[in-house]
Structure 1
Amino acid sequence: MATGQGDAAVTPSVWRRYALALWVLLLVAIGSMRALNRYLVGVAYHHVAPVAPLLMEELTGALSFGAFLPPVFYALRWLRARRWRLLWHAAVFAGLSVAQTSLMIALRLLVFGWAGLPADDYAPTAWRYAMEVPTQLFFYVLIAVGLWLFDRYRASRARELRAAQLESALSEAQLEALRLQLNPHFLFNTLNAVSELMYDRPAVADEMLSRIGSLLRATLSAGAQEHRLADEWKLLGLYMDIQRARFGEGLDADVRGDAALDDLRIPFLLLQPLVENAIEHGGQGDHRLVRVEAAREADRLTLRIRDGGGGAARAGHGIGLGNVGARLRHLYGDDAGVKLEALPEGGSVVTVWLPARRWEAT
């Protein structure tokens, strides 16, 4: 019940009352400071005036001007969309000047009369209205310029926020497109391999189809761009099972993972297209050599995929390297990358590096 009462206390009406109270206190503070200034000036020039009349004059002036500021704010924003804005400004200022001076005179006559002090100097004469114009004009221009600058700043911030949101949405859409490219790419390649085995080795083709179903279920159920390295190893294991069914003992694959790195973040299905390339280019005939390893180097997670190909660094295969590079740039910027190098002893190695960040479940 206490929580409910606390929540109920913070309502829009309560916030409006707080804002109104703070606004009145600010106006009182301004009026009091002006009265103090006038009093000290009098002391400095040996013309000491009583404090009470000074305080009543300045408080009625500040409160009467503050009372008209909300409609002035509204009018200043309203007339921005109007033609002949200078004429509209003149009309708004004239109305503000007359209304504020009239309210100030009425308040002073009322307060001075209530206090039993003479109020002859506050009669509503033309000169009384005219003498208030310079001060009112100064504050009107100050408020108009300040409000214009504030609205321009707020509009600029809103544009920046919309631009950032659009950029984020575009980047997310591009990442999702890159991620979804992997499923049909993988499926096409593996089904193509199954079709090659369907008549000569139907039992192997059947086993591959079964394992393809398991891997597709795992990949299609994922919705995030990143997951744990341990989960990436599991997906890679399912893919390796498909390739082992295809190549049998001809696939010499070794995956070296470190359990201490299992909780690091990695893009979803990052390794599969690289390992697929390594298998396709990892040897000749039915013999393939693939080595996969992961290590932490300072604040980086480094992954290496080596094959036993023909000795020259290949320019990539299908969407593999291009997809990986694009995803890394979107997710990590310049903190991540991928490169392909030829090995002196033959074959090539793909090196991927990215920030070593711990996975935190949401």
Structure 2
Amino acid sequence: MLKPSETIRIDDIGAPRRIRFWLAMWFGVVVLIGLLDALHRYLNDVADRIPSAFGPKLVEEMTGSLSFGVLVPLLVAALRGIRGLPERWQRLASHVVLLCVVSVLHTSFMWGSRTALFHLFGYGDYDYGVMSWRYLMEFPSDVFYYLLLAFVLWLADRYRQAQKRELRAVQLESALSEARLDALRLQLNPHFLFNTLNAVSSIMYERPRVADEMLARIGELLRATLGAREQEHALAEEWKLLELYLDIQKARFGEQLVVHIESEASLGAARVPFLVLQPIVENAIEHGGGSDVRLVDVKAVHRDQQLELSVRDAGQGQGDSTHRGHGIGLSNIEARLKHLYGDAAGLRLERIEGQGTCVSLWLPYAESRPA
């Protein structure tokens, strides 16, 4: 997932490779056109039983193709410039002028290069006929290649623009998703802080020493959570945060609070959303405990390429009391799971008559990379 700070410069993506590709395409197409035209003329003479040499025809067609190919880079730049003109008549007039200039240059290059190469290869003097008529003769074919190049360039630019828009949309979607996740994660801090301070205020006059101890533990936990920058961390780190939170609650409830955590040591590297267990355990302690003892079981299991986490309390499992206790905490977790893993993760709340409440969540199993 991209982060807002990881902005991709679109113009820099694969630029050298793209330049080499288009240069190879340009050269290959130019040579292929010249070769095919020469072969066509030679085979046409063979079919008509006309004595013919392949060499001169190859020189003529290759010089014709390469002469136009040399103009292609300049022609591409000119076509893109014309596209930016504000008025339609300006664009049309520019196309006409550019086409005439290209055709004259193309014919002149062919005449000059053929004259030189015919002497170089020993084919004698090259006779191109009356040049004024040659310029007119070559003009229709130049019109065809000009329009073809303009159309191909238009298609290529449209495709490139579509890629830019698609990449920009992915960047914006990623930045928006990251911002939403940050907002959801930061929502946990005031939610947790409000609940714990409310618990401190309820005992601060009757048990000031316990309240002071709770405030000290709250400070430790807040320092640990506020320093986090990632949306995920290792399950081992999640256990540490949960232990800090449980220390706060144990200072408040004492021996009335009994929490069992069951997890294999090998699962410590599994990646989980940051502070995903604390809201669930908080709900289990606050809303699922009995009058004498508050039992909470926390379990982590690796099953079928998934990591499954569950928190079970020993409440009555009936009525609306348990439901009211699972408000912002579970909604926050569900939203974060959806953003991080899509349909590959989920959360389930089960209330069993007379046996308590169990909150289970599952997500794709992945391990943290070593630092």
Q: Same fold (TM over 0.5)?
A: yes
What is the aligned counterpart of 1:27 among 25, 30, 55?
A: 30
Aligned counterpart, 1:63? 66
Question: Are 1:47 and 2:50 an aligned pair?
Answer: yes
Task: Report the Cα distance in structure 2 between the residues aligned to 1:332 and 1:17, rounded to whole angstroms.
Answer: 39
Aligned counterpart, 2:146? 140
Alpha-carbon offset, residue 27 of structure 1: 3.3
Return the TM-score normalized by structure 1. Answer: 0.89
Task: Report the Cα distance in structure 2 between the residues aligned to 1:151 and 1:30, rounded to whole angstroms.
Answer: 23
- My pick for the range that moved more, 93-102 or 22-31, is 22-31
Question: Are 1:124 and 2:131 an aligned pair?
Answer: yes
Identity percentage over the alignment? 54
Aligned counterpart, 2:80? 77
Unaligned runs of 5+ in 1: 1-11
Q: What SS is found at the alignment partner of 2:269?
A: coil
- 1:253-332 aligned at under 5 Å gives the runs 253-284=259-290, 287-312=293-318, 313-332=322-341
Contact (CA 8 Å) 1:215, 1:239: kept in 2 or not?
yes
What is the aligned counterpart of 1:357 among 339, 344, 366?
A: 366
Distance 1:342 1:25, change over 3 A: closer
Per-residue displacement from partner, 1:248-290 (whole Å, max 9, x unpaired)?
A: 0111221112212222110010000111111110225564221
Task: Report the Cα distance in structure 1 between the residues aligned to 2:147 and 2:262, rounded to whole angstroms.
Answer: 73
CA RMSD for the aligned pairs? 2.5
- The one-letter code of the counterpart of 1:35 is A
Contact (CA 8 Å) 2:107, 2:135: kept in 1 or not?
yes
Aligned counterpart, 1:3? none
What is the aligned counterpart of 1:212 among 218, 222, 232?
A: 218
Task: Report the Cα distance in structure 2 between the residues aligned to 1:161 and 1:181, rounded to whole angstroms.
Answer: 30
Question: Are 1:343 and 2:352 an aligned pair?
Answer: yes
- My pick for the range that moved more, 307-316 or 127-136, is 307-316
Distance 1:233 1:133, change over 3 A: same
Distance 1:22 1:80, change over 3 A: closer
Q: What SS is found at the alignment partner of 1:240?
A: helix
Unaligned runs of 5+ in 2: 1-14
Alpha-carbon offset, residue 309 of structure 1: 2.4
- My pick for the range that moved more, 322-331 or 309-318, is 309-318
Alpha-carbon offset, residue 199 of structure 1: 1.5
Aligned counterpart, 1:8? none
- My pick for the range that moved more, 32-41 or 243-252, is 32-41
Q: What SS is found at the alignment partner of 2:299?
A: strand
Q: What SS is found at the alignment partner of 1:120?
A: coil
Alpha-carbon offset, residue 18 of structure 1: 10
Return the TM-score normalized by structure 2. Answer: 0.87
Q: What SS is found at the alignment partner of 2:362?
A: strand
Task: Report the Cα distance in structure 1 between the residues aligned to 2:304 and 2:23, rounded to whole angstroms.
Answer: 56
Task: Report the Cα distance in structure 2 between the residues aligned to 1:247 and 1:53, rounded to whole angstroms.
Answer: 101
Per-residue displacement from partner, 1:210-243 (whole Å, max 9, x unpaired)?
A: 2112212221221111111111111111111110
- My pick for the range that moved more, 282-291 or 178-187, is 282-291
Alpha-carbon offset, residue 111 of structure 1: 2.9
Task: Report the Cα distance in structure 2 between the residues aligned to 1:28 and 1:303, rounded to whole angstroms.
Answer: 65
Contact (CA 8 Å) 1:310, 1:346: kept in 2 or not?
yes
Q: What SS is found at the alignment partner of 2:128?
A: helix
Contact (CA 8 Å) 1:108, 1:122: kept in 2 or not?
no
Per-residue displacement from partner, 1:142-192 (whole Å, max 9, x unpaired)?
A: 111111011000000100000000000000111011111112221221122
Aligned counterpart, 2:241? 235
Aligned counterpart, 1:333? 342
Per-residue displacement from partner, 1:272-314 (whole Å, max 9, x unpaired)?
A: 0111111110225564221111112212111111122232251
Contact (CA 8 Å) 1:247, 1:286: kept in 2 or not?
no
Aligned counterpart, 2:165? 159
Task: Report the Cα distance in structure 1 between the residues aligned to 2:304 and 2:20, rounded to whole angstroms.
Answer: 56
Q: What SS is found at the alignment partner of 2:369?
A: coil
The number of residues matched between the two structures is 350
- The one-letter code of the counterpart of 2:347 is V
Task: Report the Cα distance in structure 2 between the residues aligned to 1:241 and 1:91, rounded to whole angstroms.
Answer: 83
Q: What SS is found at the alignment partner of 1:266?
A: strand
What is the aligned counterpart of 2:117 among 111, 125, 134?
A: 111
- My pick for the range that moved more, 340-349 or 324-333, is 340-349
Task: Report the Cα distance in structure 1 between the residues aligned to 2:288 and 2:241, rounded to whole angstroms.
Answer: 20
